[in-house]
Amino acid sequence: MRWPLIRYIPRSTHYRFVRWAPVAAVISAVLLVASIGLLVVQGLNLGIDFKGGVALEVQMSRPAPLAQLRTTLDQIGAHDGQVQGFGSPNSAMVKFLPAKGEKPSDASKHVETELVKRFPDLKVTSRSEVGAKVSGELLLSGFKALGVALLLTLGYIWFRFGLSYGTGAVVAVIHDIVLTLGLLSIMRIEFSMTEIAALLTVIGYSMNEKVITFDRLKENLRKYKTTPLRDIIDLSENERLSRTIITGTTALLALGGTMIFGGPVLFPLVFTMIFGIIIGTYSSIYIALPMILIWGVKRNDDEATPIKLGAASRP
């Protein structure tokens, strides 16, 4: 084996990325429609951050009897009760809504007393009680944050590269977010405040990818003035390939450990980020660039003299 491994990645590749764009477009369109359908039909599994209510993390000295906890919860009149395993087998997450007019804090106290009465070894290790007012505001501000992030990054890319690039990037990032939301919906992953942070990180990472793609594209557009746009896109992607592979692998390796060892609190966050990294890389190549191809770009910069492609593929 030769070392460093980077030598295994060929110096120049000639994959025809653009040729697969129509196929990718169909796949993306299907996934988008499916995601939106899912979001409309079953929606997101809103956590108490956004729905209000009470979440108790409980720990027992034996494996938590989830079914028993569930029936108990119903018996003591907790509204919309849910019990899930949470991390270790001895822990469980108990969630419920307070009855109409009841304060979440009173409901929480009542349920805790009843649970401890019936399961003497049960201990509440973490407790969250969110009122309906705050939860509504949190949801609103969460989506506002996503919107503002999109607009600002659109503004930045527009300013740096031009409008068609900005539009391509934003369409691609919206694609990423909708697919991520669709995944969260189908996997019933709880949508909480940290998920908003995860989505913002996905926006950040995905925008990163687009910016780096565009940087290379713009540079090549200046170098090869007469080459068709689709060939330049292919060339830029091939040049960028080894970086994409290495950075992607690094990010996945780094977060993979956290997904396995980070426990149930970090899992949804990291899972979303990992999915976002994959989808963000994909959408840079198959959404953002084809968008630019369709939209077209101005190519009348006079900074570089035209060089014929093929004479030296990399000057």
Give the residue, chosen from 5, 40, 67, 311, that forms a contact with other proteins under the rule CB under 8 A.
5
Provide the residue type at 35 as one letter.
Answer: S
Give the residue, chosen from 10, 261, 294, 306, that forms a contact with other proteins under the rule CB under 8 A.
261
Number of residues that bind other proteins (CB under 8 A): 76
- Among residues 234, 233, 249, 284, the alpha carbon closest in space to that of 13 is found at 234
| Other Cβ atoms closer than 10 A to 63 | 12
Q: How far is the CB of 35 from other proteins (least distance, A)?
A: 21
Q: Which window, 36-44, 182-190, 225-233, 258-266, contacts other proteins (CB under 8 A)?
A: 258-266
Window 158-217: residues binding other proteins (CB under 8 A): 160, 193-194, 196-197, 200-201, 203-205, 207-208, 211-212, 215-216
Give the residue, chosen from 27, 33, 148, 304, that forms a contact with other proteins under the rule CB under 8 A.
148
The token pair at 289 is 């660039």
The token pair at 92 is 């469980």
What helix, strand, coil percent values describe the chain, rounded to 5? Answer: 65, 10, 20
Phi-psi region of 217 (alpha: psi -120 to 50; beta: other; left: phi over 0): alpha
Told to check if 101 binds other proteins by CB under 8 A, we report: no
Strand 123-130 and strand 190-191: the pairing is: unpaired
285, 217 Cβ separation under 8 angstroms:
no
Q: Which window, 2-10, 26-34, 65-73, 298-306, contacts other proteins (CB under 8 A)?
A: 2-10
Provide the residue type at 131 as one letter.
Answer: G
| Other Cβ atoms closer than 10 A to 173 | 31
- The span from the CA of 27 to the CA of 34, in Å, is 11
Give the residue, chosen from 177, 255, 279, 288, that forms a contact with other proteins under the rule CB under 8 A.
255
Told to check if 257 binds other proteins by CB under 8 A, we report: yes
Window 37-96: residues binding other proteins (CB under 8 A): 57, 59
- The span from the CA of 85 to the CA of 65, in Å, is 9
Told to check if 221 binds other proteins by CB under 8 A, we report: no
Give the residue, chosen from 14, 62, 100, 133, that forms a contact with other proteins under the rule CB under 8 A.
133
CB nearer to other proteins: pick between 164 and 194: 194
Window 228-247: residues binding other proteins (CB under 8 A): 239-240, 242-243, 246-247
173, 206 Cβ separation under 8 angstroms:
yes
CB nearer to other proteins: pick between 21 and 270: 270
Q: How far is the CB of 209 from other proteins (least distance, A)?
A: 8
Give the residue, chosen from 127, 222, 225, 230, that forms a contact with other proteins under the rule CB under 8 A.
127
